[in-house]
Structure 1
């Protein structure tokens, strides 16, 4: 408490005492007990009121016990069932829940994980994939600033994500793996990995790479074969030994028929081999009869060119070639789409050639663009020339109806740089991305598309796309979302199909562990996105003719249906609206493959290394009797007593107000009772 405040309190006490004595002792000339008591009550009232006016502040110190967290993360994937550890896992969780000492000394937090992490203690062991790295990554965001030892109950077999063994650099907690399984070694041959392109071209051959591994000590012989239906298209003997535990087989298969071809690669099992599921891998290849060739034409060097090329070629159905204007004119008839990057003085002949061949194009402008020339070369739009540049952030147009927009986080993307000034269109156009400056969205297009005379064109007013691709990787740990966005723009520009009110996006085939998701967009007669549509997909299993109907769910500017629970097989489907007057049909295949069935043992070495690197300890599920005692006796996880100091003003002390009311009421009652009023 400050010195000034103490001085005011002393003065208030003296003043209250003087006033009370003056009224009841000095003024009345009486010194009976009643008057002294009334003087005391008046002193209390005046002093309390003055204290409220001064409102001194006091430190209120409270003490509390802070328990550490005990994070219990449980593997909920199907491999736990295949290793016959589901009951052991359930029993261990129940033991932890029932232990009162753990409850008294820790805040217990339960998580389950497969491909993603969920805060829950409900176990079904039905997740199709395991991502242990995701568990440690997510927990680090929540618990890195607290004491939170972690029980990681898993077989250690990860099928998805980054290597979790070195995640201790990010997750700063002691990890105690509980290993579900044993160290018993079984003789086993398996197809460790199969690499094949998703697409092939008619009358070509497509490469297949098979990596087969062997776990055993003796020399064994088997046979690798690949079948398409009942026909064997490839066969080769394969030998393993203690010194040669892996084989890489490279082969080429013919692409003779357009469509999705399904294949089965199999290594004939050994006698008494325990796990034969991992001897087989199914794969598929979609054979197409043409490839889209895209020309990226520019007379300057810029990182945007490489980013565009990589994005376009992420889809094997497309090839992108970076050319200058002279080289393009020599081979212009080889391309179906032209991307003109920052047109300059040399682009006059190029635009004439594009018009002659009636090619669709994407025009990208920036700080090096010759707008005086570009305004002359075409009549669809014109740019106000200011010789000034501006940075424009993108904002997605939620009502864009030409094709389905990928769910990129455009608001977090870096700005593009382009000419400052208004762009005026002379043809009907649709804005895909608006310009945003200093947080204000302008009603001006940053990226727009339009169609005229059976030709499609897009205009992007800004350079710096490579930063968008890099930001996409930082956000998603993958370039896929950005590449898919560019791919859909290229697909729209290279297609001659008429615009449709119902657009459906899907893959021709899905691997067994993939998320089978189909997206759709539906537009009204004015081609405005309809967020109130009722869309269903009618799915027919070709093998047993079973028909199932699933509803689409609205998600942002798309409708989406998740078919991940479907059995492997070939399906035909029809997507239609409730009115039934608009529909789209297609076919897809789901390949029979379960990555969780590929394991015979727990990954003991990785889990033990994880425990060592995090200053924890590993346990086998059959020897967990000491886990609880080890956690309770570890001095790092002791309950800590902490103090909390709050500065409390006197005006918040409600008892002082009660004291003032009590003293005034008592004084009035005594005076009334004794006839002094």
Structure 2
């Protein structure tokens, strides 16, 4: 309490005392007990009211016990059941939940992980992949500011993601791995890795790299075979020993037929080999008969150019080359699409050449664009020339019907900079992205597409698209979503297909552990997105003739169906609306491969290293009693008594109000009873 407040309280007490004595003792000239008692009551009333006016504040201390958290993270991937550890894991979870001492000393928090993280203790051991690094990444967001030792119940085999061994730099908790599996070493040969491009070009050869590894002590001989259907397309003998435990095989296979070609790489198993699943890997290559060449033409240097080139070339079917306007004229016949970046005074000949060759193009305008010239070079649109710039943020048009646009969270992207002023179109166009200024969307296009005289064009009114690619990486930890967006724009502009009311987006083939998702967009007769449509996909397995129908589910501005549970095989499909008036068909192939069945043992070394780096300890599943005992006796995880100080103003003390009411009531009653009123 401050000194000033104490002084005010003392003054209030003296003032209350003087007033009470003046009224009942000095003024009445009587000193009986009743008058002294009435003076006391009046003193209490006046002093209490003055205290409320001063309203001093007091510190209120409270004490409570805070138990540490105990995080139990359980591997829910298929490898656990494949290593025959699912029953042991289930029993361990039940023992932890029923252990009274653990419940008394910890707040138990259960999570399961595979490809994603779930806050639950329900186990099915059916996840196709496991990402342990993602688990620590998510837990660090919640528990880094608390005491939360972590039980990691897993075999330690991660199929994708960052190396979890080094996640202790971010996750600041003691980790206690419970190792599922054993350390027995089995003789085993496997295809450790197979590298191949997704696409190849007709009448060329495509490279294949196979890394084969051997785990054993004696020299063995086997054979590598690659087959396509019933035909063996490659064969090579392999020799392994304890000193030569791996081999890299590089080969080239011919691409003689357009379409998806499926292949099977197999190392002939040894007689005593326990796991033969990892001896085989299926792969596929899509053979195409042409490659799209894109010219990125600019007379200025800008980071947008590199971002566009990287995005375009992320798809092996496309090649991008950065040229100035003079060099483009020397090789203009080599390209199917031109990106004219910020046209300047030298672009007159470029536009004439594009018109002569009837090439499709993308025009990207920015702060260096010569709009006076650009307005003269074409008649499809015109820009008001103000010689002022403005920052425009993107806003997606949900009714864009030309091709499927993935949800990139455009509204959170950095703004692009371009000429301030109205852009007027003289031809029909579709807006893919609207301009947004200071959070307000205006009905002007930032990115638009249009078709005129059998040619397709796009206009982007802003420079700085490299920031979009960078933001996409920050959001997704990958450039894929942004690169796919640019890829679809390039694909549309380099294609001659007519616009359709039903658009489908899918891959020709999927690996067994991939997410098999197909997206679709459906538009009404006015080419406005229809969010109330009923769309189904009818799948037919070519080998079994089994037919399955799945409904599409609306998600943002797309319809989506998840086919990840399908068994491997070749499928034909038809996507159609409920009334059957519009439909599209296609084919896809799902390759047989289960990455979770590639492991024979738990990754003991990595789990022990993880425990050591985090100041924890590793345990095998058969030794969990000592684990529980160690957790309970570890002084780092003791229950802590904490105090909480709360500043409480006197006006919140209800008893003081009751005291004022009581003293006033008693004073009135005594005065009334003794005839003093």
Using structure 2 for the length normalisation, give the TM-score.
Answer: 0.96
1:294 matched residue in structure 2 = 294
- What's the offset of the Cα at 1:25? 4.1
2:427 matched residue in structure 1 = 427
Partner Cα separation in structure 2 for residue 148 and residue 123 of structure 1: 22
2:628 matched residue in structure 1 = 628
Question: Once the two structures are superposed, what CA deviation does each residue of 1:61-89 show, in whole Å capped at 9, x if it has no partner?
Answer: 11222222211111111101111111111
SS of 2:623 mapped into structure 1: coil
Question: Once the two structures are superposed, what CA deviation does each residue of 1:516-537 show, in whole Å capped at 9, x if it has no partner?
Answer: 1111111222212222222222
SS of 1:626 mapped into structure 2: helix
2:132 matched residue in structure 1 = 132
* 1:463 equivalent in alignment to 2:463: yes
Q: How does 1:554-633 map to 2 (within 5 A)?
A: 554-633=554-633
SS of 1:457 mapped into structure 2: strand
SS of 1:11 mapped into structure 2: helix
* 1:8 equivalent in alignment to 2:8: yes
SS of 1:609 mapped into structure 2: helix
1:384 matched residue in structure 2 = 384
- What's the offset of the Cα at 1:415? 2.7
2:77 matched residue in structure 1 = 77
Runs of at least 5 residues in structure 2 that lack an aligned partner in the other structure: none
SS of 1:550 mapped into structure 2: strand
- What's the offset of the Cα at 1:545? 2.4
Partner Cα separation in structure 2 for residue 501 and residue 658 of structure 1: 76
1:209 matched residue in structure 2 = 209
Partner Cα separation in structure 2 for residue 129 and residue 182 of structure 1: 21
- What's the offset of the Cα at 1:26? 4.3
Partner Cα separation in structure 2 for residue 351 and residue 328 of structure 1: 11
1:116 matched residue in structure 2 = 116
- What's the offset of the Cα at 1:35? 4.1
- What's the offset of the Cα at 1:33? 4.1
SS of 1:70 mapped into structure 2: strand
Question: Once the two structures are superposed, what CA deviation does each residue of 1:283-311 show, in whole Å capped at 9, x if it has no partner?
Answer: 11122222222222223333222221221
| Farther-moved stretch of structure 1 (661-670 vs 571-580) | 661-670
Using structure 1 for the length normalisation, give the TM-score.
Answer: 0.96
Partner Cα separation in structure 1 for residue 270 and residue 366 of structure 2: 63
2:184 matched residue in structure 1 = 184
SS of 1:624 mapped into structure 2: helix
* 1:472 equivalent in alignment to 2:495: no
* 1:91 equivalent in alignment to 2:91: yes
Partner Cα separation in structure 2 for residue 342 and residue 244 of structure 1: 57
Partner Cα separation in structure 2 for residue 540 and residue 405 of structure 1: 27
Partner Cα separation in structure 1 for residue 539 and residue 626 of structure 2: 52
Partner Cα separation in structure 1 for residue 331 and residue 279 of structure 2: 48
Question: Once the two structures are superposed, what CA deviation does each residue of 1:72-109 show, in whole Å capped at 9, x if it has no partner?
Answer: 11111110111111111112212221222222222221
- What's the offset of the Cα at 1:592? 1.0
SS of 1:664 mapped into structure 2: helix
Question: Once the two structures are superposed, what CA deviation does each residue of 1:235-282 show, in whole Å capped at 9, x if it has no partner?
Answer: 211111111111111122222222222211111110020000001111
SS of 1:622 mapped into structure 2: helix
Cα root mean square deviation, aligned: 1.8
Partner Cα separation in structure 2 for residue 480 and residue 542 of structure 1: 31
1:243 matched residue in structure 2 = 243
Partner Cα separation in structure 2 for residue 142 and residue 202 of structure 1: 52
SS of 2:586 mapped into structure 1: strand
Partner Cα separation in structure 1 for residue 675 and residue 545 of structure 2: 104
Question: Once the two structures are superposed, what CA deviation does each residue of 1:543-568 show, in whole Å capped at 9, x if it has no partner?
Answer: 22222222222221111111111111
Q: How does 1:15-164 map to 2 (within 5 A)?
A: 15-164=15-164
Partner Cα separation in structure 2 for residue 330 and residue 358 of structure 1: 17
- What's the offset of the Cα at 1:675? 5.0
Runs of at least 5 residues in structure 1 that lack an aligned partner in the other structure: none
Partner Cα separation in structure 2 for residue 325 and residue 306 of structure 1: 17
- What's the offset of the Cα at 1:470? 2.1
SS of 1:165 mapped into structure 2: helix
SS of 2:486 mapped into structure 1: helix
Partner Cα separation in structure 2 for residue 123 and residue 245 of structure 1: 37
Partner Cα separation in structure 2 for residue 596 and residue 393 of structure 1: 43
Question: Once the two structures are superposed, what CA deviation does each residue of 1:97-130 show, in whole Å capped at 9, x if it has no partner?
Answer: 1222222222221111001111111111111101
* 1:361 equivalent in alignment to 2:364: no
- What's the offset of the Cα at 1:50? 2.0
Partner Cα separation in structure 1 for residue 557 and residue 421 of structure 2: 30
Residues paired across the two proteins, number: 677
Partner Cα separation in structure 2 for residue 68 and residue 169 of structure 1: 21
Partner Cα separation in structure 2 for residue 20 and residue 521 of structure 1: 86
Partner Cα separation in structure 1 for residue 591 and residue 36 of structure 2: 99
Q: How does 1:650-669 map to 2 (within 5 A)?
A: 650-669=650-669
- What's the offset of the Cα at 1:632? 2.0
Partner Cα separation in structure 2 for residue 80 and residue 675 of structure 1: 92
Partner Cα separation in structure 2 for residue 675 and residue 576 of structure 1: 99
